[in-house]
Amino acid sequence: MQSQYLCDSHKKSLMTKEVSGFSKLTKSQKIDWLAQHYFQDKEQATQTLVSYWNSDEKLQQLHDEFIENTISNYYLPLGVAPNFLINNKRYTIPMAIEESSVVAAASKAAKFWATRGGFKTEILGTTKVGQVHFTYTGNAKQLQSYFSDIKPVLFSEAASITRNMEKRGGGIKDITLVNKTASISNYYQLHCTFETLDAMGANFINSCLEQFASTFENGFLKDPRFRESGDSLQIIMSILSNYVPDCLVRAEVSCPVKELSEKNIEGAMFAEKFLQAIAIAEHEPYRAVTHNKGIMNGIDAVVLATGNDFRAVEAGVHAYAARTMQYRSLTHAKIEDEIFTFWIEVPLALGTVGGLTKLHPLVRWSMELLQNPSSKELMEIVAVAGLAQNFAAVKSLITTGIQQGHMKMHLMNILNQLEAQPEEKQKTVQYFKTHTVTHSAVVDFVNSLRTA
């Protein structure tokens, strides 16, 4: 970047790591400031960022405006896992993820189950939650009586926010007053439930909650009961909850035990070991966390590809896994009458309208690949991706071990680190079809090619 064009205050800010008004600098000035303060090779640091800018200026501007202080784009690979049969419909699932072997594992599991009836899913609920947290000093019964009086007004004063959602069949489901004074003195909440249809609903819910808080507080201040008693009410905050145990989907696969037989393992032995592995993840938190991490490999990748909020999903899923006060597996398995059944129940608050869904071209592309699903259908697809991923991981763990497949997929990363040329890559991949991949074995092999 050209520091001779910088104004004096910007030149001064280049001397110190403290900066004010950073957000007002242009993108180039921001990069310049970073390069000057944090990088040895300033030209290289700048070039790395610039090389990830999109040559289509309109597309780049779109990305620049998603967040604040954008300096470049951070790419993740977008892959696809074909051959998913879900409720008798074929899908190719988009997955945005950097970890090698995740897409391959999903594709393998999809193929395996497509010949055994495919995945079956069921939506168990779509209710979202939000809360107004407040403190109140006074008689709890009096507050309850005030709440009963004001409840219809909470609905009516939010009408301008809820009108469109109601027209489509959604809206506020209920509002209850919860006395939490046993945990924190004077603490109460309005616990609110919502149906947000195809929207993830964060904006809708938060707007409703802020309106409830204002209606509730204003009504309180005007109410003679409280003016006389001198009781006080303070709104602390109004915010949706990412814990959505009633926005729940179930996905399942099943087949006769004998159909689980593979080259080196009988179906009955496979099923027995599989059930044991699931039981361990249901009871042992150290294993449960890794087991669920594998599930999230599938879930997050589809959530990201479809422009949904993976942090919200992660937080809600892990809270759900710990709902019995012990962190447990999200998947379960059983054998009944020689039928093996494997399933997941997972809370997923997803949207197929709003947010990034129409804005980000790759999200739009991913949605079209999925044939523009409703949010319920997307919940089903995402749950299936999690179940498939978990099936593939546990299958590897109880048979070949995880490293064999993983290192094969990781081979390309090692080759890229070594800056291998196409011919070297091709020879190395061929060699490791019959040899065990380790980092040092790959380095040795590539060196042997280079010195031959």
Binding site for ligand MEV (CB under 6 A): 99, 290-291, 293-294, 297, 393-394, 397, 402
Helix and strand counts by DSSP (H, E) for the chain: 17, 10
The set of residues, in sequence order, having a beta carbon less than 8 Å from that of 43 and lying 6+ positions away, is 35
* Residue with smaller CB distance to ligand MEV, 47 or 413: 413
Strands (DSSP E) found in 221-338:
232-241, 248-256, 331-336
Q: Does the annotation mark 30 as catalytic?
A: no
Q: How many CB atoms lie within 10 A of CB 132?
A: 27
| Least gap, CB of 406 to ligand MEV (angstroms) | 7
Cβ at position 403, least distance to ligand MEV in Å: 10
For ligand MEV, the closer of residues 350 and 393 by Cβ is 393
Smallest distance, ligand MEV to C-beta of residue 58, A: 37
Nearer to ligand MEV, 247 or 385 (CB): 385
Could you tell me if 320 and 243 are in contact, meaning their C-beta atoms sit under 8 angstroms apart? Answer: yes
| Nearest CB to ligand MEV, comparing residues 279 and 397 | 397
CA distance 86 to 102: 19
Q: What are phi and psi of 322, to 5 degrees?
A: -105, 15
Please, which residues bridge with residue 237 across strands? 133
Q: Which is nearer to ligand MEV, 238 or 329 (CB)?
A: 329
> Could you say which of 111, 293, 318, 427 is catalytic?
293
Active site residue 336: no
SS3 label, residue 183: coil
Q: How far is the CB of 293 from ligand MEV (least distance, A)?
A: 5
Catalytic residue among 108, 360, 406, 410: 406
* Listed residue (152, 140, 146) closest to 222, CA to CA: 146
Q: Which is nearer to ligand MEV, 161 or 281 (CB)?
A: 281
Question: In the complex, what is the shortest distance from the CB of residue 405 to ligand MEV, in angstroms, rounded to a whole number?
Answer: 10
Distance of closest approach, residue 291 Cβ to ligand MEV, in angstroms: 5
d(CA 239, CA 212): 11
Q: Tell me how far apart the alpha carbons of residues 87 and 71 are, in angstroms, rounded to a whole number.
A: 43
Coil, helix or strand for 335? Answer: strand
Q: How far is 311 from 201, CA to CA, in rounded Å?
A: 15
Judged by beta carbon, residue 297 or residue 366, the one nearer ligand MEV is 297
Of the candidates 210, 252, 300, 309, the residue annotated as catalytic is: 309
Q: How far is the CB of 33 from ligand MEV (least distance, A)?
A: 37
**Residue 323's CB: how many other CB atoms inside 10 A?**
12
Give the C-alpha separation, 212 to 216, whole Å. 6
The closest residue (CB) to ligand MEV is 294
Cβ 129 vs Cβ 191: under 8 Å: yes
In contact, 93 and 81? CB cutoff 8 Å: yes
Catalytic residue among 99, 157, 314, 424: 99
DSSP state letter for 172: E
Least Cβ distance, residue 396 to ligand MEV (angstroms): 7
- Max CA distance (Å), the chain: 95
C-alpha pair distances (Å), 57 with each of 7, 48, 180, 259, 363? 26, 18, 53, 54, 19
Contact (Cβ atoms closer than 8 angstroms) between residue 81 and residue 66? no
Q: Please confirm, yes or no, whether 293 is among the known catalytic residues.
A: yes
Under DSSP, the state recorded for 17 is S
User: 343: which 2 tokens?
Assistant: 């399933």
Nearer to ligand MEV among residue 82 and residue 401 (C-beta): 401
According to DSSP, residue 337 is labeled T
Query: What radius of gyration do the chain's Cα atoms show?
Result: 27
Active site residues: 99, 293, 309, 406
